[in-house]
Amino acid sequence: MARTASTPRESWVGEGLRELAAGGPEAVRIEPLAKSLGVSKGSFYWHFTDRGALLGALLDAWERTYVDDAIAQVEADGGDGRTRLRDLFGLAEATSAELLPLDLAIREWARRDARVMARLTRVDNRRMDFLRLLFSDFARDADDVEARSLLVFCVWVGQPLIAAEHRNRSRRDAVRAALDFVLS
């Protein structure tokens, strides 16, 4: 009878993503993950050859969830470019509590690791390509499409790093107003 792993691979990946978001790649360690999952360290090796394989799986899960699945969901809902952009913004807002810390941790990691930078570049290019596709549905020309796409991406990536207050508005309201502006 074949032995089976009692802790699913997805559990290791999920816990690894939480640790990555909280403390960067240095926080992703096999023994503490096993303890968090309530399993032996040996069960890790049912799914991964080593820590590097887990880190690769974390990047795969990040890209699949926050790029592949997000694009697929927005496309499945359909509509014109503005409708799909609003759907994308809504999805981004709904997942921001998990995604923003993870994105920031991966961006910081990429500053120190060329392979992660190559992966981040690919992911950012995919995100920008999707924004370009959606904005091209109604924007005047290629320069307008590029400017709107870049502004949206800068708002998404940069706003968590900005400490400024928005007078009588919440950060959420200010971000929504910025996104509405690029849709006009």
- Is residue 132 assigned to a domain? yes
State which residues form the domain around 91: 9-183
- Is residue 113 assigned to a domain? yes
Residue 5 has pLDDT above 60, yes or no: no
How many Cβ atoms are within 10 Å of 125's Cβ, its own excluded? Answer: 10
Across the chain, mean pLDDT equals 94
pLDDT tier at 7, thresholds 50, 70, 90: confident
The string of pLDDT tens digits covering residues 157-182 is: 998 889 999 999 999 999 999 999 99
- Is residue 39 assigned to a domain? yes
* Model-wide pTM > 0.85: yes
How many Cβ atoms are within 10 Å of 3's Cβ, its own excluded? Answer: 6
Residue 2 has pLDDT above 60, yes or no: no
Residue 122 has pLDDT above 90, yes or no: yes
Please state the domain count of the chain: 1
Residue 6 has pLDDT above 80, yes or no: no
Residue 134 has pLDDT above 60, yes or no: yes
- Is residue 90 assigned to a domain? yes
CA dihedral 19, 52, 112, 110 (to 10 degrees): -70
Domain CATH for 153: 1.10.357.10
- Using the 8-state DSSP alphabet, how is residue 25 labeled? G
Residue 28 has pLDDT above 90, yes or no: yes
What mean pLDDT comes out for the span 77-94?
A: 95
